[in-house]
Amino acid sequence: MSEAAPEDHRVRTGAVRREATRRKLLSAAVEVFAQKGPDGVSIDDFLAAAGVARGTFYNYFKTTSELLDAVTAELNDEVILAIEHCVEKIDNPVERVWTGCLIFVHVAVMHPAWGAFITRTGVREAASGRLTDIYLPRDLATAQERGMAKYTNARAAKDLLLGAIHQSIETVLSGAASAEHPRAVLRLALGALGVARATLDRLGKQPLPAIELPEGLKSLEAAAGQTG
């Protein structure tokens, strides 16, 4: 038993180092994709940003596309799940949409590297399925069933809200509008979907609830701070 302890310690230390290196690569990916977009990057960009060797990169990811998928899947899904846990107890489906969309934008604006990453790569359906295939369609359908929203094309309604999210983030991060701008955009989008003015007036006065920042975003920011 006395010989196993040092071995266990080495295994744990190795696992921690591997995870730290992987997080360093993910953090570098956020910055690089935010600056160059998903199509204008090379592996050398990530090697320079993360300060790792080519062989190290290939120990974790085979291609830049695989790295992009890892970042979007881990960060988007973690943020979206945190938002869902925050709004799941709200009975009103329109309020869930309003609150969830605004929290998503707020997190992106408060963490500009991730926000810029979103605006350059888009809210990708393959990696944010919970948002595009579960939560938004669910709440929009419930709102329609209860007569709280009126629209004829579910896909168009979903795309309208995703576009509002994406453009709001980009506009605020560019400095073209204040942090209150997303509320105005979402009000117009939900109004176009037939949500009553009185409902929008009430929602517009509500403060956003706080959510716990997902661990993935925390760790990426910590890795970015160490790299910088």
Q: Which residues 6+ apart lie within 8 Å of 75 measured at CB?
A: 30, 114, 117, 214, 216, 217, 220
Residues of the chain short of pLDDT 70, as ranges, are: 1-7, 9, 11, 14, 122-132, 216, 218-228
The pLDDT score that the predictor gives to residue 12 is 74
Task: Select 4-227's CATH number: 2.70.180.20, 3.90.650.10, 1.10.220.70, 1.10.357.10.
Answer: 1.10.357.10
Query: What span, in angstroms and rounded, lies between the C-alpha atoms of 55 and 143?
Result: 51
31-86 tens-digit pLDDT: 888 888 888 889 999 999 989 999 999 999 999 989 888 887 777 778 888 899 99
Q: Write down the domain spans for the chain.
A: 4-227
Give the Cα separation of 136 and 123 in Å (integer). Answer: 13
